Amino acid sequence: MDDRPSGAKASFVIARRCGEFQFSQEHPFRPDRQTSVYEMCRRRGLLDGAGISVVEIENAEDRVLERFHTKDYIEALRRADRGDDVDLDMIHHGIGPAENPVFEGVFEFSALSATASLTAARLVADSGGSAFNPCGGFHHAYPDRAAGFCYVNDVAIAIDELRKRGRRVAYVDIDAHHGDAVQHAYFGDRSVLTVSMHESGKTLFPWGGFDWEVGEGDAMGYNINVPLEPGTDDDNFLRLFNDIVMDALRIFDPEVIVGQFGTDMLSTDPLTHLRLTNNGYIEAVEILHGEFPAIVALGGGGYNQQDVTKSWTLLWAELAGKGIEQSGYGGALGGVFLGDSSIEDSDLRDMRIYLSGPEKERLEHYTQDMISNYRRGILPLLQDRNR
């Protein structure tokens, strides 16, 4: 059901059925995150008002996975949908290991999430506003295999739909994990600028995304990686975001941003090693949205449920132009220096983390080196090819 009013500037796209699936009892990825975010936004009145709509995805679009994935992979995923025993062909396609388990409804989950991202892309192409699909951003899925909790590359499906409609697209990924499969899809394609900020592949899956991976052929310079040192804080993250990501975007000048806005770069995430708070996270989103209002916003990683709920509520509020009154920092009534979304209407912002001493100096030196490398190596390529 699409109840988007004419001229709507922001759409919250939700496939409620996706939130009912479970990868496994022990799996860190929880599809019900989207339900928690939706409910917090609804409770705070962030889904109401002129120019805002909620778009319900009740059924998957026919053949949606064929837009990016191979026939053999889709058939393996379809067999896995029954939740039966794993066969060798599934394992060949990355389905069945602990990170990508077989579970009942896995094909339906994948097709619904891809349809939601495809719908978000169409809405943005038609309106020039923004759309948010919290059950999206599966940036590790390759055409022929699942990887890293990702069975379907809804990101590439959204990007290709926008290109089909003649839009100039840039991909911005601030998830703590490198957007490797999206990079792979467009590594030799200069029509899409791909930028990924993530924890260094030296310390985190998928063990790549180094700054020397810049594209190939005439697309050299159109793939930008900004690996972050473990311990990176808000200050260094935002400096890199401003001096590299935003600088490259201004040169490329996209009509639409497809953004993967996972929250696993935050200090409380159990799977990563960065020290951001959601202040750095949302300030980056605000900067991006301020210059590029047409954004297809997708979810992604995030394995602390409270982090995800708070951060994606802030994300939606920014896209929808809804101010949130801040009365202090979350956790004032519970928790130590961290927001606690279990408290009704508690503040959404984290306490900031301030680094000092040798650790801060180390990160500042690294940040300056990354900016210098970008200016020497990638910037000239972008400037020459966009004249």
Per-residue pLDDT tens over the stretch 101-137? 999 999 999 999 999 999 999 999 998 899 999 999 9
Active site residue 273: no
Residue 140: count of CB within 10 angstroms of its CB: 28
pTM: 0.93
Alpha helical stretches, state H, 201-356: 234-240, 247-252, 278-291, 305-320
What is residue 203's predicted lDDT score, i.e. its pLDDT? 98
One-letter identity of residue 75: E
Distances (CA, A) of 312 to 39, 68, 264, 290, 329: 11, 27, 12, 17, 17
Catalytic-labelled residue, pool 69, 93, 139, 140: 140
Q: Any idea which of 127-136, 195-204, 226-235, 345-354 has the lowest mean pLDDT? A: 345-354
In the chain the domains, ranked by start, together with CATH numbers, are 10-385 (3.40.800.20)
Split at pLDDT 50, 70, 90, the class of 384 is confident
Say how many C-beta atoms besides its own lie within 10 A of residue 215's C-beta: 21
| Residue 84: band (very low, low, confident or very high) from pLDDT cuts 50, 70, 90 | confident
Backbone CA torsion sign across 300, 244, 386, 183: negative
Do residues 116 and 136 lie in contact, with contact meaning Cβ atoms separated by under 8 Å?
A: yes
Q: φ, ψ for residue 123 (rounded to 5)?
A: -65, -45
CA 239 to chain CA centroid, nearest Å: 20
Q: What's the rounded Cα separation, in Å, for the pair 232 and 370?
A: 13
pLDDT one-digit tens code per residue, 251-302: 999 999 999 999 999 999 999 999 999 999 999 999 999 999 999 999 999 9
| Cα 56 to Cα 115: distance, rounded to the nearest angstrom | 11
The Cα 63–Cα 120 span in angstroms is 17
Mean pLDDT taken over the chain: 92
What's 217's DSSP letter? G
User: Which amino acid appears at position 318 of this protein?
Assistant: E
Pairwise CA distance, residues 151 & 47, whole Å: 29
pLDDT of residue 4: 38
Is 60 exceeded by the pLDDT of residue 177? yes
- The answer to whether residue 61 scores a pLDDT higher than 70 is yes
Q: Supply the DSSP string of 12-66, one letter for each residue.
A: EEE-GGGGG--S-TT-S--TTHHHHHHHHHHHTTTT-STTEEEEE--SPPTTGGG
